[in-house]
Amino acid sequence: MAILKLDQVTKRFGGLVALKDFNANLEEGEIVGLIGPNGAGKTTAFNVITGVYKPEQGRVTFNSRDITMLKAHPRTAMGICRTFQNIRLFDQMTVLENILVAMHIRLKKSIFSVVAGSPGYQKREKEMKEEAFELLRYVNLDHLADERAPNLPYGQQRRLEIGRALATNPKLLLLDEPAAGMNPQETAELMEFINKIQGEFKLTIFIIEHQMMVVMGICKRILVLDYGLTIAQGTPKEIQNNPKVIEAYLGVKDSA
Amino acid sequence: MTLTHFFQHLANAVYLGSLYALIAIGYTMVYGILRLINFAHGELLIVGAFIAYYGILIFHLPWWLSFIIAIALGALVGMSLERVAYRPLRERGAPRISLLVSAIGASFFLQNLGLVIIGGRHKSFYRPPFFAQTLQLGDVTVMNFLFILPIITIIILGIVFLLVYRSKTGMAMRALAKDYPTARLMGININRIIAYTFALGSALAAIGGIMYALRYPAIHPLAGVLPGLKCFIAAVVGGIGNVPGAVLGGFILGMLEIMGIAFFPHLAGYRDAIAFIVLIIILSFKPTGLLGEQVVEKV
Amino acid sequence: MTKQRKLILLVGALIVSSFLIYANFFFDPYVLRILNLIAIYMSAALGLSLINGFTGQFSLGIAGFMAVGGYAASLLTLPISVKESIFFIRPLIWPFNSLELPFIVGILFAAVMTAIFSFLIGFPVLRLRGDYLAIATLGFSEVIRVVSTNTITITNGALGLKGIPAFTNIWWSFGFAGFSLFVIWRLINSSYGRAFKAIRDNEMAAEAMGIALFKNKLLAFVIGSTLAGIAGALLAHLLTAIDPAMFRFFLTFNVLLMIVLGGMGSITGAVLGATIVTFLFEFLRYLDSPMEWGFITIPGAPGLRMVIFSTLLIIMILFRRQGLMGDRELSLAWIEKSFSRIFHRRGGGNGNS
């Protein structure tokens, strides 16, 4: 069954059509890649799915519920979470706190009981901290729990961002260029990591990535965008041999 | 209300509108480039008015010379303000809120320095006969300056347009307002352009201050606070960063303030609240102002 | 909480309260008044710090909410006879004209009224960001002031309220400062506090993590403004007279200076800032009034004090933007660490130092 369905989604900025008649179907448990040259509309697609932008036309359905006009934060509650192309951590907070923020959505305690320090809240806070530590151990950052997020090296910041997204208990995870700026070894580790979390958290993953090694390595299916239009989709093998894709990436071949 | 009264009010409204427009242009230019509410802009009005006042009173200068000197010195004060209170923060890449705090500090500094030097008593601004002469139009009696200011505003508007849209510096200013890092990469001397913008905006503030003093001749160091705030609101209502928007906003506020009170005299006590209420309404429905462009945040 | 921490807290509370008891009986009224002011501004500064510092919503409307609190409480506590004598232009409206209630009721009413006002004002303005928000909150604060100048049958207009009973004493002011400290401390270190700070640090990421931006901003705004409103009520019952001019932007400026000086985003900073600024404000009072030194009389320069204060603000923001404390806190852990360091040094023996 499709967990996420985008139906003829169009998003414009002024005169610029960032995304046109975009269709996508993500089956539960799939890892799907979204590729295309810079400015092709990939991040716009993510923003439409997560509710940062509302599309002018089309429908976004998640778990058979129409979420096209829903705000961003209830979508997170429903199980959609993301990372950002340019890392967006909470800079004045520690690594542990970054994770805890993402659990606030599941707190379900009134502000009065929190300020009064009710036993229920204290128990919940303790559970949250334990869960956050477990998650930090899982992403191998537990030894840095009290470090401020910006003090982490780049690769660990990326990992923390993924960990933070996992803390919201997502069903669908959107990764926006997770391998950007990584060396081949880090990239290989990342691929393994993505495969691992997909299995253990029973995630559906939608991933934007420029490093073809990643996309070809972990995605079963790939969508290709160019100038807001979907120019191809299929298995990695099909995409690699698709003349349209080659053209979009390398420019028009001179046939003369 | 008789027709005579109506026209009398209308003349007042046009005057106040052009006054606000004039000052709002300065605000909008500075904001357009620095993304900074120059809280001290209102104080620059009063600086201009007082320099003109003392030029006539102490140095016995002819009024026009005193006015010109006041405008020039006003520009200088504005540039120094930028140099001391804003530039260091900008160069260190401080968040915008820090600049705002610095601007609030600068505003209070100038106000209270004025109190220390000049004292809190109202001074009576000299009205040159040329401005004070009355004009009889049918039943409506108006003073000359009521006509002069809108004309000056139009002329200045023309000059500002030429400077911003036709000169090389103006092009640099617009580039800076649009895209800071790219403008820098293109070899634009940012500090020079910002200083220039401040000089221009502050000169406009000084002109506005003199015009304000001609209309409301009782001046004192804190007199710039309220018109300063209102003109900022005018700039926001019109769409900050947008020169025609500032003019539009200025006229809207001026009209509402005069005509609103003219039609509902029992609300006279609320006159100073009108601008804020307009601001809140406009921002609720069109957060970027009437003519402002929508800014999309890059994710 | 460990035993050691409980001990530190207990000792701290004992020291503070014995100082206050001593002060209450032996300090002269002028010094007591300054102490009261420090405590009241502490609460207001903590309120503003929650909004501006921790949630990152730069509000300039604190004076307006202090006015609401001051008027609301005074209207209930003013003796009926005083009400009849000060409202001589037009009488006070019902039901205030026939009420004379205890201080605690006045304070609760102040809290409810500021909460309602801040909710109604926060609703439109918190959709704005950064400097737009600043100017809109400033606008509302000014509107409150203009309205209070004009609603003569409630506020007595520009004449203000006089003869407010001097209910505020050291127990009330420090009691409430302690309460504010407790509330903000608990809040900031809770899941809600993390949500507020997340909004400050990165609004878009916070929303992507499921934080309801508007709801949480409004929450912080209402709580912070309500603390300031109660501070306004205490202020009114300390000074025994209020008028609209008291609640100009000037008042907001002072509270802003406190949190900028102390460090936006630090509770310790707000407390420190409130203490320093209030103290300096009184200490420098002589600058504004004439002085006589033997034969020489220096004429006072009204405004000189504010020149110094605004210079202080600019210098602070230019050279130490993060304030005295930054976003650090004087925490129990820190106290423990310094204590154990001292003991280790003294104890020698067991350490390899």
Q: In this structure, are A163 and A175 located in the same domain?
A: no
Q: Look at residue C321 in the predicted model and tell me its pLDDT.
A: 85
Residue pair C50/C223 in contact by the 8 Å Cβ criterion = yes
Q: Look at residue B46 in the predicted model and tell me its pLDDT.
A: 93
**C260 Cβ under 8 Å from any chain B Cβ:** yes
Q: In this structure, are C133 and C168 located in the same domain?
A: yes
- With a cut of 90, say whether residue C225 has pLDDT above it: yes
Q: In this structure, are C306 and C327 located in the same domain?
A: yes
Phi, psi of C93 (to 5 degrees): -75, 160
Q: In this structure, are C242 and C313 located in the same domain?
A: no
Name every chain A residue with its beta carbon within 8 A of the beta carbon of C183.
Answer: 115
Q: In this structure, are A145 and A130 located in the same domain?
A: yes
Q: Look at residue B297 in the predicted model and tell me its pLDDT.
A: 54
Nearest to C105 by CA among C158, C193, C161, C165: C165
Give the type of residue at B254: G
| CA–CA dist A18, B191 (Å, integer) | 36
Q: Look at residue C300 in the predicted model and tell me its pLDDT.
A: 66
pLDDT tens per residue, range B170-216? 888 888 887 777 888 888 888 898 999 999 999 999 999 998 998 88
Q: Which chains touch B (3 or more CB pairs under 8 A)?
A: A, C
Which of B293, B295, B296, B299 best tests the A interface by mutation, with the highest count of A CBs <10 A? B299
- With a cut of 60, say whether residue C347 has pLDDT above it: no
Question: Which residues make beta-bridge pairs with A22?
Answer: A9
What is the residue-wise DSSP string for C48-77?
A: HIIIIIIS------HHHHHHHHHHHHHHHH
Q: Is residue C217 part of a domain?
A: yes
Q: Look at residue A249 in the predicted model and tell me its pLDDT.
A: 78
Nearest chain C residue to A165 by CA distance is C209
Sequence-ordered list of residues with C-beta below 8 angstroms from that of B87, at least 6 positions apart, any chain: B191, B194
Q: Which chains touch A (3 or more CB pairs under 8 A)?
A: B, C
Query: Cα–chain-centroid distance for residue B95?
Result: 25
- With a cut of 90, say whether residue C21 has pLDDT above it: no
Closest by Cβ to C210, choosing from A89, A97, A168: A168
Question: Which residues make beta-bridge pairs with A206?
Answer: A32, A174
Q: In this structure, are C54 and C84 located in the same domain?
A: yes
Q: Is residue C27 part of a domain?
A: no
- Residues listed for chain B: 299
Residue A17: both structure tokens together:
């059509």
ipTM (interface pTM): 0.92
- With a cut of 50, say whether residue C219 has pLDDT above it: yes
Q: Look at residue C131 in the predicted model and tell me its pLDDT.
A: 82
Q: Look at residue C351 in the predicted model and tell me its pLDDT.
A: 39
Contact criterion met (CB < 8 Å) for B97 and C303: no
Alpha-carbon distance values, C306 to C41, C140, C249 (Å): 17, 24, 13
Instruction: Provide the chain A residues 46-105 that lie in CB contact (below 8 A) with chain B.
Output: 47, 52, 84-85
Architecture of domain B3-285: Orthogonal Bundle (1.10)
- With a cut of 90, say whether residue C277 has pLDDT above it: yes
Q: In this structure, are C223 and C272 located in the same domain?
A: no
Question: Which residues make beta-bridge pairs with A110?
Answer: none
Contact criterion met (CB < 8 Å) for B299 and A13: no
Residue A136: both structure tokens together:
């930090």
Determine the 3-state secondary structure of A32 from DSSP.
Answer: strand
- With a cut of 90, say whether residue B91 has pLDDT above it: no
- With a cut of 90, say whether residue C62 has pLDDT above it: yes
For residue A29, what pLDDT band results from cuts at 50, 70 and 90? very high
Q: Look at residue C282 in the predicted model and tell me its pLDDT.
A: 86
pLDDT tens per residue, range C93-107? 878 888 889 999 999
Indicate the domain borders of chain B.
3-285
Sequence-ordered list of residues with C-beta below 8 angstroms from that of C133, at least 6 positions apart, any chain: C57, C58, C59, C125, C126
Contact criterion met (CB < 8 Å) for A114 and C192: yes
The continuous run of DSSP H or E covering A18 comes out as: strand A16-27
How many structural domains comprise chain A?
2
Query: In CATH, what number is assigned to the domain containing residue A6?
Result: 3.40.50.300
**C67 Cβ under 8 Å from any chain B Cβ:** no
Q: Look at residue C353 in the predicted model and tell me its pLDDT.
A: 37
Q: How far is A40 from chain B (nearest CA, A)?
A: 14
Closest by Cβ to C190, choosing from A102, A103, A114: A114
Helix, strand, coil distribution of chain A in percent, nearest 5 = 40, 25, 35
Q: Is residue C210 part of a domain?
A: yes
Q: Look at residue A256 in the predicted model and tell me its pLDDT.
A: 42
Residue pair B38/B213 in contact by the 8 Å Cβ criterion = no
Give the type of residue at C149: T
| CA–CA dist C123, B37 (Å, integer) | 23
Query: Cα–chain-centroid distance for residue B299?
Result: 35
Name every chain C residue with its beta carbon within 8 A of the beta carbon of B119.
Answer: 302
Burial of C247 (0-12, 13-18, 19+ CB in 10 A): buried
Average pLDDT over residues B82-106: 90
Q: In this structure, are A104 and A64 located in the same domain?
A: no
For C306, the domain range is 252-289+300-339
Q: Please report, to the nearest 10 degrees, the dihedral formed by the alpha carbons of residues C125, C126, C127, C130 taken in order.
A: 90
Residue C247 is given by DSSP the state G
Q: Look at residue A253 in the predicted model and tell me its pLDDT.
A: 53
pLDDT tens per residue, range B124-166? 888 888 777 777 777 777 777 788 888 888 898 888 888 888 8
Largest CA distance in chain B: 62
Q: How far is B292 from chain A (nearest CA, A)?
A: 14
How many structural domains comprise chain C?
2
**A133 Cβ under 8 Å from any chain B Cβ:** no
Express as a percent the part of chain A with pLDDT over 70. Answer: 97
What is the residue-wise DSSP string for A193-252?
A: HHHHHHHHTT-EEEEE-S-HHHHHHH-SEEEEEETTEEEEEE-HHHHHT-HHHHHHHH--
- With a cut of 80, say whether residue A31 has pLDDT above it: yes
Q: Which residue has the higher pLDDT, B139 or C278?
A: C278
pLDDT tens per residue, range C94-145? 788 888 899 999 999 999 999 999 999 998 889 888 888 998 899 899 999 9
Express as a percent the part of chain C with pLDDT over 90. Answer: 60
Q: Please report, to the nearest 10 degrees, the dihedral formed by the alpha carbons of residues B111, B113, B118, B124 taken in order.
A: -20
The count of other CB atoms within 10 Å of the CB of residue A242 is: 17
Q: Look at residue A228 in the predicted model and tell me its pLDDT.
A: 87
| CA–CA dist A148, C325 (Å, integer) | 17
Residue C65: both structure tokens together:
């909410």
For A240, the domain range is 1-79+170-256
**B299 Cβ under 8 Å from any chain A Cβ:** yes
Determine the 3-state secondary structure of C28 from DSSP.
Answer: coil
For residue C346, what pLDDT band results from cuts at 50, 70 and 90? low
Contact criterion met (CB < 8 Å) for C191 and A100: yes
Q: Look at residue B294 in the predicted model and tell me its pLDDT.
A: 61
Q: In this structure, are C234 and C280 located in the same domain?
A: no
**C195 Cβ under 8 Å from any chain A Cβ:** yes
Q: Look at residue B86 in the predicted model and tell me its pLDDT.
A: 92
Which ranges of B119-221 would DSSP assign to H, the alpha helix? 129-132, 145-166, 168-178, 180-185, 190-215
Name every chain B residue with its beta carbon within 8 A of the beta carbon of A174.
Answer: none
Q: How far is B134 from chain C (nearest CA, A)?
A: 34
Closest by Cβ to B296, choosing from A13, A43, A84: A13
Nearest chain A residue to C205 by CA distance is A88
Residue pair A178/A86 in contact by the 8 Å Cβ criterion = no
For residue C341, what pLDDT band results from cuts at 50, 70 and 90? confident
Q: How far is A212 from chain B (nearest CA, A)?
A: 22
| CA–CA dist A54, A51 (Å, integer) | 6
Contact criterion met (CB < 8 Å) for A103 and C265: no
Mean residue pLDDT across chain C: 89
Nearest to A72 by CA among C209, C291, B282, C66: C209
**A131 Cβ under 8 Å from any chain C Cβ:** no
Q: In this structure, are C133 and C265 located in the same domain?
A: no
For residue B106, what pLDDT band results from cuts at 50, 70 and 90? very high
Nearest chain B residue to C306 by CA distance is B112
Name every chain A residue with its beta carbon within 8 A of the beta carbon of C190.
Answer: 114-115, 121, 125
Sequence-ordered list of residues with C-beta below 8 angstroms from that of B138, at least 6 positions apart, any chain: B4
Mean residue pLDDT across chain A: 91
Largest CA distance in chain A: 78
Name every chain C residue with its beta carbon within 8 A of the beta carbon of A85.
Answer: none
Nearest to B129 by CA among B202, B56, B186, B190: B56
Q: Look at residue C286 in the predicted model and tell me its pLDDT.
A: 74
How do strand A57-62 and strand A2-13 relate by DSSP bridges? antiparallel
What is the residue-wise DSSP string for C283-294?
A: HTHHHHS-EEET
Q: In this structure, are C228 and C283 located in the same domain?
A: no
